[in-house]
A and B are shown apart, each in its own frame.
Chain A
């Protein structure tokens, strides 16, 4: 291998390592060390408390449903944006990132007012007898808003780079449009779809700003785990907050690892 003549490795690597250690490694290790200072019994008592278990359940189910719906609609949006030409395409493509650019508190407040009993959308749902704000449906709405760009932005480049030839070959060999999509296009986008899904899921599990306004935050009903951490901190119960936080952290990491493995498995499967 030839020698790398480019300058600056020492200093840039130094800055990077220092920064990552100070801001990521040390704080996260501290969180784990702090948890280790609890006895196993204490830890289990905190994290299996009924109210805490409910909060995990609410966080997990709403994040799952929202990420799932985002995967479906995200795929649809990406498909339409890449494959079709229609008025306003550039503007809509730009608008997709709105949930990333808009502060979460603004999003939460807006959705709560829109879907509240007197809001523009809330009135309509109220008549149908389906309240949205201050129920778990409200949480799902907020998480769908926040997670909207993830799947679209993951799937879009893959669809753009898909070679036209394979599709044409499938069609000329007599495959229907549906068969072509199912057998040729879909397998290509599965890894991106999974990546987008997992990002939306991880974000949804930890989301706070957009959720607190619309959730109603009733213990045992619509209280999400991040909110519970917040209220423990307000009571200066640092050990309790840490224990719940560590469980949340482990949950997100586990999901990310599972999705990673699924993606690798899928790629291997495809190459054969």
Chain B
């Protein structure tokens, strides 16, 4: 009752062709371009002062954003999957909302708040704070864009886990932290790890929202994606692709960890 052999082969070859042309070649292209002018140019591009400051800023933003979004993700998933309350569906839609909003609009919203003519503009200038065209603005925009990732990965996992095991732990006298550490965490760890990885990948790579609130001050508010845009627009292609290759390497590692996690959860459920 299988398909005709010919159809099966045709479908498999179409898939190979599509994957090679659309995913594999672009990925190889990045590394080829990056090394086109030799290792010296590659290293110079990565070790350049502005590149290093961009890398530092990107790491800083990721280090603030991801833990906060993880805390939120765990809280939201706990409240949503372990309790019944009115408006759950609405809350779920609100958590997913940042996926439907263009990153450019996300950036715009924070401009409307914090720019000198914005709603909180006068308050902020009075206190001598800078949010827009500064690091806090970049962090806020990144937090909005990456908000759903951890919650989204955890909710189905916790839903499937049910409530019985945790209820047993509590009725046997465990406190909240013991229950979370011994019962909840072991069950959700892979989903949690995957959510954190996806969240980090997006935090590192966010471009549209960050590019609006950053002001692109070189050496100050330039993140890695903004840095490669500047290099590209200055026709420094080898340098642009060198920095891009670092981010692509991170993306490839992300995919490997994902495949590994999937393999683990697959074998452990069997």
Question: CB within 8 Å of B: which residues of A?
Answer: 4-9, 11-13, 15-17, 19-20, 23-25, 27-28, 30-31, 34, 73, 76-77, 79-81, 84, 86, 90-107, 109-111, 113-114, 120-121, 144-145, 148, 167-168, 171, 177, 199, 202-203, 205-209, 213, 226-227, 229-230, 233, 238, 241-242, 245, 248-249, 252-253, 256
Contact = CB atoms under 8 A, between A and B. Distances in A.
B127 interface: no
B22 A20 contact: no
A253 B251 contact: no
Contacts of B105: 31, 206, 226, 229, 245, 248-249
A46 B74 CA distance: 42
Nearest to A260: B93
Contacts of B47: none
B208 interface: yes
A48 to B, nearest CB: 19
B248 to A, nearest CB: 6
A241 to B, nearest CB: 6
A58 to B, nearest CB: 14
Contact of B113 (A27, A73, A102): A27
Nearest to A168: B1
A98 B147 CA distance: 20
A110 B21 CA distance: 13
A96 B97 CA distance: 24
17 contacts: A16-B80, A19-B76, A23-B98, A24-B144, A28-B97, A28-B109, A31-B108, A79-B11, A91-B259, A102-B247, A104-B225, A105-B205, A105-B229, A106-B247, A109-B229, A208-B208, A209-B208
B94 interface: yes
Nearest to A26: B113
Interface stretch (B12-20, B38-46, B185-193): B12-20
Contacts of A93: 259
B205 A104 contact: yes
Given A98-B255, A110-B29, A206-B105, A238 B111 contact: yes
A105 B225 contact: yes
Contacts of B255: 94-95, 97-98, 101
B207 A209 contact: yes
Contact of B240 (A5, A99, A109, A203): A109
Contacts of A177: 1, 3-4
A148 B71 CA distance: 30
A264 to B, nearest CB: 13
B75 to A, nearest CB: 4
B198 interface: yes
Most chain B beta-carbon contacts within 10 A, residue among A23, A30, A92: A23
Given A19-B76, A229-B108, A233-B107, 10 more contacts: A20-B94, A76-B11, A86-B12, A98-B255, A101-B201, A103-B206, A104-B208, A109-B244, A110-B30, A209-B208
Nearest to B169: A6
A121 B20 CA distance: 13
Chain A interface secondary structure, helix, strand, loop or mixed? helix
Interface string B90-127: 01001101111111111111111101010100000000
Interface of B: 1, 3-4, 8, 11-12, 14-15, 18-19, 21-27, 29-30, 33, 71-72, 74-76, 78-80, 82-85, 91, 94-95, 97-113, 115, 117, 119, 140, 143-144, 147, 163, 166-167, 170-171, 175-176, 179-180, 198, 201-202, 204-208, 211-212, 224-226, 228-229, 232, 237, 240-241, 244, 247-248, 250-252, 254-256, 258-259
Given A24-B147, A31-B108, A90-B259, A101 B251 contact: yes
Nearest to B197: A101
B112 A95 contact: no
Given A25-B94, A256-B100, A213 B232 contact: yes
Contact of B29 (A113, A203, A213): A113
A229 B166 contact: no
Contacts of B207: 103-105, 208-209
Contacts of B258: 94, 97
